[in-house]
């Protein structure tokens, strides 16, 4: 989907995508593996600090290869804490901000991002 234009590389940028098979949001870690974005806090993302590095990072996964294990990869900006700086990507990383399914009406909806 439409990537947000990167304005600031000072905190670095990382690569996210959807896993082709599961559809789940994933990020590229420093060992060049795709891991679940919801577990970002426990992992270490591959981070680029310039437009050039970001382009190299994107190229390194061969996004146009038919066998590429992810779809719709794009670069996102990070904040000072290594989290996505834009609310949309933060929401991708944390999952829906509401309780859903059997949990929906149990207790109050005080989950926030």
Partner 1 sequence: MYQYNEVDQITVDDRCREFRDQVERRIEGTLSEAEFKPLRLMNGLYLQLHAYMLRVAIPYGVLNSIQLNKLADISDKYDRGYGHFTTRQNIQFNWPTLEEVPDLLEELATVQMHAIQTSGNCIRNITSDPLAGVAADEEVDPRPICEWLRQWSTLHPEFRYLPRKFKFAITGSANDRAAIKVHDIGLRLRKGPNGDPLIDLWLGGGQGRTPKIAQLFKQGLTVEQLLPYLEATLRVYNLHGRRDNKYKARIKILLAETGLEALQAQVQEEYEALDKSPFVNSVAELKALYPHFAQPLVDVAQASEIANVIDEKLSGEEVARWYKQNTRDHKLAGFRSVMISLKPAGGIPGDATSAQMRALAAIAKRFSRDELRVTHRQNLILPWVAEKDLYAVWLALREIDLAESNIDLPSDIIACPGMDYCALATARSIPVAQDISKAIRKTELQHDIGKLAINISGCINACAHHHVADIGVLGLDRAGVENYQITLGGRSDENARVGERMGPGVSADELPATIERVVKFYIKERRDDETFSLTYDRIGKTEFKTAVYGVAE
Annotate 2-61 with DSSP letters as a single string: PPPPP---TT-EEEEEEETTT--EEEEBTTS-EEEGGGGGGS-B--B-SHHHHHHHHHHT
Strand order in the sheet with 25-28: 34-36, 25-28, 13-19, 70-77
Distance of closest approach, residue 2 Cβ to partner 1, in angstroms: 9
Whether 79 contacts 85, CB under 8 Å = yes
Distance of closest approach, residue 31 Cβ to partner 1, in angstroms: 23
Q: Is 31 or 64 the residue whose CB approaches partner 1 more closely?
A: 64
Determine if 91 is a binding residue for partner 1 (CB under 8 A).
yes
Determine if 35 is a binding residue for partner 1 (CB under 8 A).
no
Q: Is 31 or 107 the residue whose CB approaches partner 1 more closely?
A: 107
Whether 37 contacts 26, CB under 8 Å = yes
Determine if 21 is a binding residue for partner 1 (CB under 8 A).
yes
Distance of closest approach, residue 10 Cβ to partner 1, in angstroms: 17
User: Which parts of this chain interact with partner 1 (CB under 8 A)?
Assistant: 1, 18, 20-25, 64-67, 71-72, 85-88, 91-92, 95-98, 100-102, 104-105, 107-109
């Amino acid at each position: 989907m439409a990537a947000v234009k990167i304005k600031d590389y000072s905190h670095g940028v990382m690569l996210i995508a959807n896993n082709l098979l599961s559809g789940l949001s994933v990020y590229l870690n420093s060992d060049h593996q795709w891991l679940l974005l919801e577990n970002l806090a426990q992992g270490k993302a591959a981070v680029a600090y310039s437009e050039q590095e970001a382009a190299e990072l994107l190229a390194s996964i061969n996004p146009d290869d038919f066998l590429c294990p992810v779809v719709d990869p794009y670069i996102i900006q990070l904040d000072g804490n290594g989290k996505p700086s834009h609310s949309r990507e933060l929401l991708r990383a944390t999952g829906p901000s509401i309780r859903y399914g059997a949990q929906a009406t149990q207790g109050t909806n005080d989950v926030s991002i």
